């Protein structure tokens, strides 16, 4: 694929992250982020990018999306304190989302890393920013869900939306909004400035000879689960397009039907790609590449947020897809090739050795570095035997996605995207 060129990459890592523990039996293990970090160190990749420690998300950051009472609850909840059953039910604290030691610090840490990463992209100091502890896409405004407590992705997107560009119009002089919005608008424009702004500004403003354009952000989700929390947060807006590829049908969280397309101004700005179990690299890219090519052409985002959930890999403890690490990382390679500021986030991933393999390899893709298959010695090398390789062999499970069903999905979504005029 085109474009193995270099990019300026910054990578956020909190050394405490691996110590948070959801409890016995729970599939979500923050330790996998520490394993990834150790593997990155072993491959010498930490010297090729800026390694930054995140600033914990502040109350102000968290309250941009979440409700006061929910954040106050997360701040005060500990396993030793008696917690009212009605309150636990109200905030959906359950087996999936238990109250564990250090819960609020954990939330501040992974959310803070995503917000810092977005800020770094806004400042133009990096082309790609990475937070493997983030990507917790199910959290709602006032509710935990599916191992996710606060939605770091929504917070990062809100940060990316703060950027605007002021253009000076060179020719022909424009003085009417109707001309602007009803013409094909191909006049030459001169970029005057690019900076962060107050969030309350309207979508576009025109002065006598200048035009202010607010950023558009594309969200892409390759976790096996539907990115419901992010979709819901931006369902009514045309400034954020959400695209989720996921297993659909009798599968958590149950949302993500192909017919869910957004509403009001947001109609056609939510894209859902329902897939069946056993999908392999070839079938995945048969839909992923044409859909994302069309999305990039129709939406022309100023920034892309890519949730890289590794539970879509073959052999995942909770997942049922059959992607190889190469197939999964080709999504990152493909989105990177558009040369738009890119935020890479983690997400699901429950077979720990494969998660570390995948996110380490994908950091290499971000940097434009191909890694040796033979794994270097490092602290957690014992997890990777007997092969001790970065790649893992996919299984021979049945692919339940027929060419006919993939064609039908692709055709329907490409048709919808063709009707998009931005
Ligand atoms: N699939 C699945 C699954 N497994 C578990 C689970 C397993 C062991 C435990 F001790 C606790 C929970 N929960 C689920 C799913 C949630 C999956 C979340 C995926 C998150 C992500 O990868 O997308 C992003 C980080 N929950 C359910 O299926 C709900 C239940 C319906 C069944 C499981 N019980 C424990 C809760 C209710
Ligand atoms: Ca998904
Ligand atoms: Zn998942």
Following DSSP, what letter does each residue of 259-312 receive, concatenated?
T----GGGTT-EEEEEE-TT--HHHHHHHHHHHHHHHHHHH--SEEEEE--GGG
ipTM value > 0.95: yes
Q: Which of 24, 147, 252, 359 to mutate to test the pocket of ligand 1 (most atoms within 8 A of CB)?
A: 252
Q: Evaluate: CB of 309 within 6 angstroms of ligand 1.
A: yes
Residues 364 and 370: their CA atoms lie apart, in Å, by: 6
**Cβ atoms < 10 Å from Cβ of 60:** 7
Residue nearest to atom 2 of ligand 1 (CA): 318
Residue 298 makes CB contacts below 8 A (sequence gap 6+) with 417, 418, 420, 422
Q: Which ligand is closest in space to the CA of residue 313?
A: 3
SS3 state of residue 375: coil
Alpha carbon of 245 to ligand 2 centroid (Å): 4
Cα 408–Cα 412–Cα 416 angle in degrees, nearest 5: 170
SS3 state of residue 248: coil
Residues 177 and 308: their CA atoms lie apart, in Å, by: 40
Q: Is the peptide bond before 172 cis (omega within 30 degrees of 0)?
A: yes
Alpha carbon of 132 to ligand 3 centroid (Å): 14
Residue nearest to atom 31 of ligand 1 (CA): 252
Instruction: Report yes or no: 344 and 361 within 8 Å, Cβ to Cβ.
Output: no
Of these residues, 138, 246, 328, 378, which one is catalytic? 138
| 138: annotated active-site residue | yes
Give, in words, the CATH class of 9-160+216-418.
alpha beta
Tell me, what's the pLDDT at 208? Answer: 66
Tell me, what's the pLDDT at 307? Answer: 99
Residue 148 makes CB contacts below 8 A (sequence gap 6+) with 97, 136, 137, 138, 139, 229
Q: Evaluate: CB of 250 within 6 angstroms of ligand 1.
A: no
pLDDT in tens, the chain (422 residues): 446 689 999 999 999 999 999 999 999 999 999 999 999 999 999 999 999 999 999 999 999 999 999 999 999 999 999 999 999 999 999 999 999 999 999 999 999 999 999 999 999 999 999 999 999 999 999 999 999 999 999 999 999 999 877 776 554 544 444 344 433 344 556 676 765 544 444 556 666 677 777 899 999 999 999 999 999 999 999 999 999 999 999 999 999 999 999 999 999 999 999 999 999 999 999 999 999 999 999 999 999 999 999 999 999 999 999 999 999 999 999 999 999 999 999 999 999 999 999 999 999 999 999 999 999 999 999 999 999 999 998 899 999 999 999 999 999 999 999 988 54
Tell me, what's the pLDDT at 2? Answer: 43
Instruction: Report yes or no: 270 and 301 within 8 Å, Cβ to Cβ.
Output: no
Domain spans of the chain, in order of start:
9-160+216-418, 163-214
Q: Evaluate: CB of 19 within 6 angstroms of ligand 1.
A: no
Residue 401 belongs to what H/E stretch? none
């Amino acid at each position: 694929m085109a474009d193995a060129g270099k990019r300026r990459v910054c990578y956020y890592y909190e050394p405490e992250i691996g110590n948070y523990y959801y409890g016995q039996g729970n599939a979500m293990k923050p330790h996998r982020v520490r394993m990834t970090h150790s593997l990155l160190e072993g491959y010498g990749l930490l010297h090729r990018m800026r390694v930054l420690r995140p600033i914990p998300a502040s109350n102000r950051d968290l309250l941009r999306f979440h409700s006061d009472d929910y954040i106050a609850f997360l701040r005060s909840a500990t396993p030793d304190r008696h917690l009212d059953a009605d309150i636990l039910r109200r905030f959906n604290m359950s087996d999936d989302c238990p109250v564990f030691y250090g819960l609020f610090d954990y939330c501040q840490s992974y959310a803070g890393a995503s917000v810092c990463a977005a800020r770094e992209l806004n400042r133009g100091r990096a082309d790609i920013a990475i937070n493997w502890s983030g990507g917790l896409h199910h959290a709602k405004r006032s509710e935990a869900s599916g191992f996710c407590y606060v939605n770091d992705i929504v917070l990062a997107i809100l940060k990316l939306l703060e950027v605007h560009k002021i253009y000076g119009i060179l020719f022909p002089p424009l003085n009417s909004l109707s001309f602007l919005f009803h013409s094909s608008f191909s006049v030459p424009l001169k970029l005057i400035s690019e900076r962060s702004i107050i969030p309350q500004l309207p979508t576009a403003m025109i002065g006598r000879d200048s035009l202010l354009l607010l950023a558009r952000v594309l969200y892409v989700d390759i976790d096996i689960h539907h990115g419901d929390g992010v979709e819901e947060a931006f369902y009514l807006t045309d400034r954020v397009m959400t695209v989720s590829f996921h297993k659909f049908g009798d599968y958590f969280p149950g949302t993500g039907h192909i017919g869910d397309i957004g509403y009001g101004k947001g109609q056609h700005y939510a894209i859902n790609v329902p897939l069946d179990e056993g999908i392999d690299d070839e079938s995945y890219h048969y839909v992923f590449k044409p859909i994302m090519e069309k999305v990039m052409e129709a939406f022309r985002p100023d920034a892309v947020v890519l949730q890289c959930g590794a539970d879509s890999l073959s052999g995942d403890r909770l997942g049922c897809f059959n992607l190889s690490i190469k197939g999964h990382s080709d999504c990152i390679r493909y989105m990177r090739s558009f040369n738009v500021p890119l935020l890479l986030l983690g997400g699901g991933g429950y077979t720990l050795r494969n998660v570390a393999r995948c996110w380490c390899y994908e950091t290499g893709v971000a940097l434009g570095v191909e890694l040796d298959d033979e794994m270097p010695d490092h602290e957690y090398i014992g997890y990777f035997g007997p092969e001790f390789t970065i790649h893992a062999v996919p299984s021979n499970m049945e692919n339940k996605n027929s060419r006919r069903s993939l064609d039908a999905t692709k055709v329907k979504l490409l048709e919808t995207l063709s009707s998009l005029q931005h």
